[in-house]
Amino acid sequence: MTQIAPQPGIMEIAPYVGGKAHVEGVSNVIKLSSNENPFGPSPAAIEAFQTAASSLHRYPSTDHSALRQAIAEVHKLDAERIICGVGSDEILSLLCQAYAGPGEYVIHTDHGFAIYKIAAMTNGARPIEVQERERVTNVDAILAACNAATKIVFIANPNNPTGTMIGDGEVARLARELPDHVLLVLDGAYAEYVEGYDGGAGLVDARQNVVMTRTFSKLYGLGGMRVGWGYGPRHVIEALSRIRGPFNLSHAALVSAEASIRDTDWAQKCREENIRLRAWLAEALAEHGVVSDTSTANFILARFADANQAKACDAHLQSRGIIVRGVASYNLPHCLRITVGDEESCRLVAMAVAEFMGAAA
């Protein structure tokens, strides 16, 4: 028998499962399970990607300076305090690697993104789940859960899969009242969908215990390229830079992301369409008895009477070639997360849900 074994706790990690992309027997599905931008990436990003094909034999930049500068210019940030990664997931993992280990705690909310728990356990830390209040981050509960062993607090704002968010005042209070040894990480994967929201950048600039992360996978439509970034105090970014892989991002990914973030007109168009269609879809489902909290992201969390009804509706949608996301693994078995697609997709979802609820009545 082999005596080779992974580090303690590794085999206790439940592997991350992405949104379903196929339905058996259906060739042309409508995929609304992964919160992808239905309009795709900026034409400028596509052109940059195509141009990059001629230099596939060259190693990419190790310091990501051009992309960091573009991010800094668009968001009015300090480029020296930006770090880029393979999606924001890598930044979250690097934070746990640098700041949390065996015998230490990482706090996340009970409906928070699965990667927080995985990143903590990968580095031997213990994830601590804190209850939200009616699917909204509860600052008081987080503060009450902190102790001497707590090293990191993760919150997504807006949150996934709930779509809810807390205001700047509550986020600032959380940062201010955390123990001095605790790092607050603001996951802003959906921050671009909130008009005028800086994702916590101002708070990062004002304090030494706050880091924010962002991604190019959602609004910018580059999920397949895997590019994310983080912004934090100089002491945190310097620590992460020491453990980041030197060639973690390809040249194609870097230039595509740079072109994306500079095309502010495309981003604004996608944002406006999401806001319009999100409101329409939420109202259309509510008319048939399927309610949701006000979402600030590019999806809605549809709530059903119970887990059985949610599963039945999911099956009905799949029979119509529509794939959404069941979120029982996020402690929401009675809910389905539905990405806001283009107008045709939204109308087909509303029609299928109405059909299901009418039959169930």
In a domain, 165, yes or no: yes
Let me know whether 121 and 257 are in one domain: yes
Residues 237 and 304 in one domain: no
**What pLDDT, on a 0 to 100 scale, did the predictor assign at position 9?**
82
- The per-residue pLDDT for 23 is 73
Number of independent structural domains in the chain: 2
Angle at 34 between CA 231 and CA 271, to 5 degrees: 60
Tokens of 218: 């959602």
Cis upstream peptide for 246 (omega within 30°): no
163 lies in some domain: yes
Residues 19 and 112 in one domain: no
Q: What is the mean pLDDT of each run of 10 residues along the chain (361 residues)?
A: 79 79 77 96 98 95 97 98 97 97 97 94 96 96 98 97 96 97 97 95 97 98 97 98 95 98 97 97 97 97 97 96 95 97 97 89 53
6: preceding bond cis by omega (within 30 degrees):
no
Tell which of 206, 234, 263 closes a domain.
263
Residue 11's pLDDT is what?
84
Domain span holding position 17: 10-40+265-360
Q: Looking at the domain assignment, is residue 152 inside a domain?
A: yes
> How far apart (Å, rounded) are the C-alpha atoms in residues 311 and 95?
36
The last residue of one of the domains, among 236, 263, 290, is 263
**pLDDT given for residue 40 in this prediction:** 97
Is 115 found in the same domain as 96? yes
Q: How many Å apart are CA 329 and CA 164, to the nearest integer? A: 18
In a domain? residue 259: yes
Residues 202 and 130 in one domain: yes
What dihedral do alpha carbons 304, 307, 308, 314 form, nearest 10°?
70
Query: In sequence order, what are the beta bridge partners of 128?
Result: 107
Tokens 């981003």, residue located: 267
What pLDDT is attached to residue 179? 97
User: Is 5 part of a structural domain of the chain?
Assistant: no
Provide the CA 7 distance to its chain's centre, in angstroms.
27
Q: What is the CATH number of the domain that holds 292?
A: 3.90.1150.10
- Name residue 214's beta-bridge partners: 229
Residue 3 in any domain: the answer is no
Looking at the structure, tell me whether residues 101 and 146 fall in a common domain.
yes
Does residue 353 share a domain with residue 294?
yes
CATH number at residue 207: 3.40.640.10
60 and 199 share one domain? yes
Q: Are residues 31 and 108 in the same domain?
A: no
Domain boundary (244, 263, 282) is at 263
The sign one gets for the Cα dihedral 21, 158, 98, 248 is: positive
Does some domain include residue 1? no
